Amino acid sequence: MEKIIEGVCQFRQNVFEKKKALFEGLRDHQEPKVLFITCSDSRVDPSLITQSDPGELFVLRNAGQIIPPHGAESGVGQEATIDYAIHHLGVQHIVLCGHTDCGALKALLQSPTAGMAHTSALSKWLYFAESTKQIADDLLQKAGCCEHDHDLSHGYQGDEAYTFENLDKVKTDAIFMKITQTHVKMQLQHLKTIPSVARAFASGTVKIHGWVYCLHSGEVWLMDEVHDKFNLV
Ligand SMILES: [Zn+2]
């Protein structure tokens, strides 16, 4: 914590002073053009990876950048933030950015199968990404990663649900990249069920973008919805 407090002092004395005009201009209003939705992961820094200044990104973060579909009680907080960005701030773009090595996605893959009890807050939250899990299960089984058939009579297998020992790292990384991309696509579908987003997207006032950020390379891959693929920026 001392390091963080020291950082606060350094920010005020050095960074804030240097950018004083910028912060003065943001004193009583903001006009971000982009709503940036991403994971809470400490390694993903929206301002850093987009080289944006304060005031440029309106940011929504949660575990796994999951957007519950409209109507889900647990999605009220996410939806309120998104509504505010569209109606009050007038953002023109929504970026939903997933990332490699996502802890929420890993937990999702090891979570109880649909139909089983979701008791913890995390498992209830991850259940909103069940569509990702169902597709990922098929991808993993196809690649020979799955040890178990997920027959409920076997019970929840915890961390032993999948094994990757029979795959090399390149193949494992490729599968996880595919799952991460799938997850972004699924959450974008949920996003479009939110009335304010659906309306703004249909009228062309808001454009929607799916991204995947690679922790190890700094690369960002952009979703090309027309060709159903991701392209390197
Ligand atoms: Zn994550």
Per-residue pLDDT tens for 48-76?
999 999 999 999 999 999 999 998 877 88
pLDDT of residue 156: 38
pLDDT of residue 120: 84
pLDDT of residue 165: 63
Domain with CATH 3.40.1050.10 in the chain: 31-232
pLDDT above 70 covers a percentage of the chain that reads 87
Residue with tokens 């109880």: 112
pLDDT digits (tens, 9 = 90+) for 4-31: 999 999 999 999 999 999 999 999 999 9
State in Å: Cα 128 to ligand 1 middle. Answer: 15
State in Å: Cα 220 to ligand 1 middle. Answer: 15
Q: Which residues of the chain register pLDDT less than 50?
A: 149-160
Domain 31-232 class in CATH = alpha beta
Tell me the C-alpha to C-alpha distance, in Å, between residue 32 and each of 38, 100, 156, 206: 16, 26, 44, 13
State in Å: Cα 180 to ligand 1 middle. Answer: 10
State in Å: Cα 42 to ligand 1 middle. Answer: 9
State in Å: Cα 61 to ligand 1 middle. Answer: 10
State in Å: Cα 92 to ligand 1 middle. Answer: 25
Neighbours of 79 (CB within 10 A): 21
pLDDT of residue 116: 57
Residue with tokens 């703004």: 200
State in Å: Cα 21 to ligand 1 middle. Answer: 34
Separation of alpha carbons 112 and 32, rounded Å: 39
pLDDT of residue 192: 97
pTM: 0.89
Q: Which tokens go with 173?
A: 């990384």
Helices H / strands E in the chain, number of each: 10, 6
Q: Which tokens go with 221?
A: 């891959």
